[in-house]
Amino acid sequence: MSQTWDQCYYRHFTSHLGKPFDHEVYHSGDDGPPLQIVTYDQRYPGFRVYASLGLTAYAAEVRERGEVILLADEGRKVVPFLFVNALFFITRQRIPLASQFAIGGVENLAADFAEQFDKAALYFMRMTPEDEFPEGFERVECDGEVGQVYQSLFISEAEHEFLKRSGGAALEERLKIQATVAKADLCSLLRPSCV
């Protein structure tokens, strides 16, 4: 029996992250496929994992078969809204998922959130086996094909500007230093800027 990518990713996320806490379906306002945000709260104490479903329907637009996760410890009402808006923007603008980019405008959609947490954009990056996720979490197999799991991270305006000037590899190096030297949790919305 053939399975859909949504079914494969849902099973993958649930097997690694536990039973979902919440599930919302979003429509972009055009005739495109909807996106879903499935929220998990069991795997990482103090954090919720927001996982996209349906982005695989936009594989031609984003040049990759993949879905995205976002971890956050605060902002539970607004985080899914900001996340799904960034995902729809990516599909409309045909931004390749693998290109280490950020979607700004957090302050335009949620000014109080942006000010409270000093976050201006969502950075999108490829997940690697070295990340602190379960082994094999970065890849999803479905009917003999492979899809990827990407991660998104809230970043400050200073980090966003640094990304524009220096690129994704340089930003990720700064984030890695912040995580190892300063022992900062990169997914925490209270994390200070690394630049």
Q: Which two tokens stand for residue 63?
A: 């040049």
Q: How many Å apart are CA 2 and CA 10, to the nearest integer?
A: 15
pLDDT tens string 181-194? 999 999 999 999 99
pLDDT tens string 39-76? 999 989 999 999 999 999 999 999 999 999 999 999 99
Place of tokens 């879903």: 36
Task: Estimate the share of the chain in helix, then strand, then coil, as percent rounded to the nearest 5.
Answer: 40, 25, 35
Residues with Cβ within 8 Å of residue 60, at least 6 apart in sequence? none
| pLDDT for the residue numbered 134 | 83
Band (135; pLDDT cuts 50, 70, 90): confident
For 177, what's the count of Cα atoms within 13 Å in the CB-facing half-sphere? 9
Band (1; pLDDT cuts 50, 70, 90): very low
Write down the pTM of the prediction. Answer: 0.95
